[in-house]
Amino acid sequence: MALHFVATSVLTSEDGIGFEKEVQLESDDARKSKAEAIKVKPLFEQLAEQNAKKQEEYDAMTKLIFGTR
């Protein structure tokens, strides 16, 4: 079984002796997934929208059945 590690940061040195500075690396996939996560609405809002849509469908069907406007 082969293990595959992905580097997410690299230690750098300004003087060549001490490696105190850490530079973050970010792949294109990681940037895309972060951007998509920001666009996603909170669960509460998603559920509220779904409930509103279902209520509208129910109201439309009820109007058709009972013939009220």
Q: What dihedral do alpha carbons 53, 54, 59, 61 form, nearest 10°? A: 120
Separation CA 30–CA 40 (nearest Å): 16
Q: What is the pLDDT of residues 22-49, one digit of tens each?
A: 777 777 777 787 777 777 788 999 999 9
Q: Please give the full DSSP string across the chain, using - where no structure is assigned.
A: --------EEEE-SSSS---EEEE---HHHHHHHHHHHHSPPHHHHHHHHHHHHHHHHHHHHHHHHT--
Whole-model pTM over 0.95: no
pLDDT at 65 over 80: yes
What is the biggest distance separating any 2 CA atoms in the chain, rounded to whole angstroms? 84
